[in-house]
Structure formats: structure tokens, C-alpha cells
Amino acid sequence: MTEPVTTTEITTSPATDAVVRIDGLSKSFDGRLVLDDVHLEVGRGRIVSVIGQSGGGKTTLMRCVNLLERPDKGMVEVAGEVVHQGGRTVCRDLARLRRTVGMVFQRFHLFPHLTAVENVVLAQRKAGIPEQEALERAVALLRRVNVAHRALAQPEQLSGGEQQRVAIARALALKPEVLLFDEPTSSLDPEATREVLSVMRELAADGMTMLLVTHELPFAREVADHVVFVDGGRIVEAGRPEDVLDNPAQDRTREFLASYGTAS
């Protein structure tokens, strides 16, 4: 078998303006290596989709970008600033890092006692944005994700698809330079999945930089500039969607894709 490749190696025109750059990143939990020498770059306005089996390290990789997890080795750079290096956090302003890097989770993580609009306002209030401006922006963002008519509903009154769209509005509220999506449609039914993917497609068309983990391979094929296959904590293969998904170079990628059967 040939050596695994990295995105940095296969990018034909390296993004000079990378919003996220990860170099030689390793991470262990309880002495078990879950990320092993990972290199990854997300250029401004680019969409990188991470695929791979459960337990492969995808979520941990995403969480290393905003330092919800601290890598043991390697370098993480966000928006031109090294935030973690050699096992040490060098970012002096974690709150600012988390505004630069928005995150959307599989299970929404909205505050259950707040309405949709309050959820979007709260994130901004914490960042010191004046109340009136925060409210106006929240309403505009709820409109943008097609859920403004549900602004006064609480999460339990919303469908999964509506909750996830509110979560996307909340992530957008702090004007992030990159959005991370960790399996945003995995807990949704097919119709809600379509709604959320449609919002993500619009963000992509607007030039939003995104790093996403998804099992929606047709969506990854359609919107991603790069697809990265992660397995056992390593990047096994990375490249253009049509190469990785339709003509993979590695046996392991082929096996993974075959496990999707006709679904992809």
C-alpha cells in the first residue's frame, strides 16, 4: 500500500490565504492515539469535507481547531495566528478564537429555556454586542436560515431541522471566519436534512469558509472543494471530491465507500 497523502501535498494551488492550517497534529486520550500526524488546510472561501467511520477521530480533529480539545503535538493556526503549538496553547484570547471559529453540532446544543431569537441574541450579548444591534442581527439571521416565523418558539417546540437552522444562525451571529459543522444532519429525518443542507449550500455560495464532517456523500461531492478521508486517526486520502469519492487511490477509502452501498 502506498503512503497516506496529506491535503497539503495534493493541493495543486496551495491556498495562500488559509483560514485554518493544521500541521503534524497528534492527540491521545488515556494513552491511546486518536489523531496521528494530521495535516490539513482550509483556504479562505473553501469547503473541506471530512468523511470516515465512527471513532476515526473526526470530531476530535474539529474540536482541536477551536481548542475545545488541546493537541499533544503539532501546530494549529487560525486566521493567520498560531493558536496552539508543541502541546502548548499560545492563543491569548480564547473567546476571540471561538468567535472566529463558529461551530454547529450534531445535537444543536440550543439553550432549552430560551426562544430561538434569544438563543441567537445571547451569543452576541456575551461578545459585548449592544442589545438592539444583537436583536436586529438575530432576526435577520433567522430570516436567512428560513426560520424567522419560529423566532419566539422554544427549542422543544421546534422540529430538529428548525433547531439546527437556529443553531446555524447563532453560529453566524458572531461573524465567524470559518464555520465547523460536525455531522449537522445526522440526527435529522430526510426532509429536515434537505432543509439544513439547503441552508449550508447557500452559505457555501456566499463564500463562507467551512470545515465539515458529514455522511452525506452526495452533498460533499456537490459543495466541497476538498474531501478528506480520516481513518484510525490518520488522513488516509484527500483530494478533489470526484477523485476521493469516485476514484479513490487507497484500498481503505474504497472499502469505506463500499460500506455505503448504493446510498452514496
Ligand X SMILES: Nc1ncnc2c1ncn2[C@@H]1O[C@H](COP(=O)(O)OP(=O)(O)O)[C@@H](O)[C@H]1O
How far apart are alpha carbons 69 and 71 in whole angstroms? 6
- Do 193 and 216 form a contact (C-beta atoms < 8 A)? yes
Judged by CB, which is closer to ligand X: 29, or 111?
A: 29
Tell me: does residue 55 bind ligand X (CB under 6 A).
Answer: yes
Tell me: does residue 31 bind ligand X (CB under 6 A).
Answer: no
Pick the binder of ligand X from 39, 58, 98, 165 (CB under 6 A).
58
Interacting stretch for ligand X, rule CB under 6 A, among 29-37, 93-101, 112-120, 152-160?
29-37
Strands (E), the chain: 18-29, 32-43, 47-51, 73-78, 81-85, 88-89, 101-104, 178-182, 210-213, 226-231, 234-239
**Nearest distance in Å: CB 181, ligand X:** 12
Judged by CB, which is closer to ligand X: 43, or 52?
A: 52
- Do 141 and 173 form a contact (C-beta atoms < 8 A)? yes
Interacting stretch for Mg ion, rule CB under 5 A, among 16-24, 58-66, 140-148, 236-244?
58-66
Tell me: does residue 60 bind ligand X (CB under 6 A).
Answer: yes
How far apart are alpha carbons 37 and 137 in whole angstroms? 40
**Nearest distance in Å: CB 223, ligand X:** 20
DSSP state of 2: P
Q: What residue 14 binds from ligand X, Mg ion, none (CB within 5 to 8 A, per partner kind)?
A: none
Judged by CB, which is closer to ligand X: 56, or 239?
A: 56
**Nearest distance in Å: CB 20, ligand X:** 17
Pick the binder of ligand X from 7, 59, 119, 253 (CB under 6 A).
59
Smallest CA-to-CA distance from 85 within 130, 15, 22, 37 is with 22
Tell me: does residue 168 bind ligand X (CB under 6 A).
Answer: no
Tell me: does residue 165 bind ligand X (CB under 6 A).
Answer: no
**Nearest distance in Å: CB 182, Mg ion:** 6
Q: In this structure, how many other beta carbons lie within 10 angstroms of the beta carbon of residue 98? A: 19
Supply the DSSP string of 53-122, one letter for each residue: -TTSSHHHHHHHHTTSS--SEEEEEETTEEEEETTEE--S-HHHHHHHEEEE-TT----TTS-HHHHHHH
**Nearest distance in Å: CB 235, ligand X:** 12
Tell me: does residue 6 bind Mg ion (CB under 5 A).
Answer: no
Provide the pairing of β-strand 81-85 with 88-89: antiparallel
How far apart are alpha carbons 250 and 91 in whole angstroms? 36
Judged by CB, which is closer to Mg ion: 23, or 69?
A: 69
Tell me: does residue 59 bind Mg ion (CB under 5 A).
Answer: yes
* Positive/negative CA dihedral, 219, 223, 229, 230: negative
**Nearest distance in Å: CB 170, Mg ion:** 20
| Residues lying near Mg ion in the complex (CB under 5 A) | 58-59
| Residues lying near ligand X in the complex (CB under 6 A) | 29-30, 34, 52, 54-60
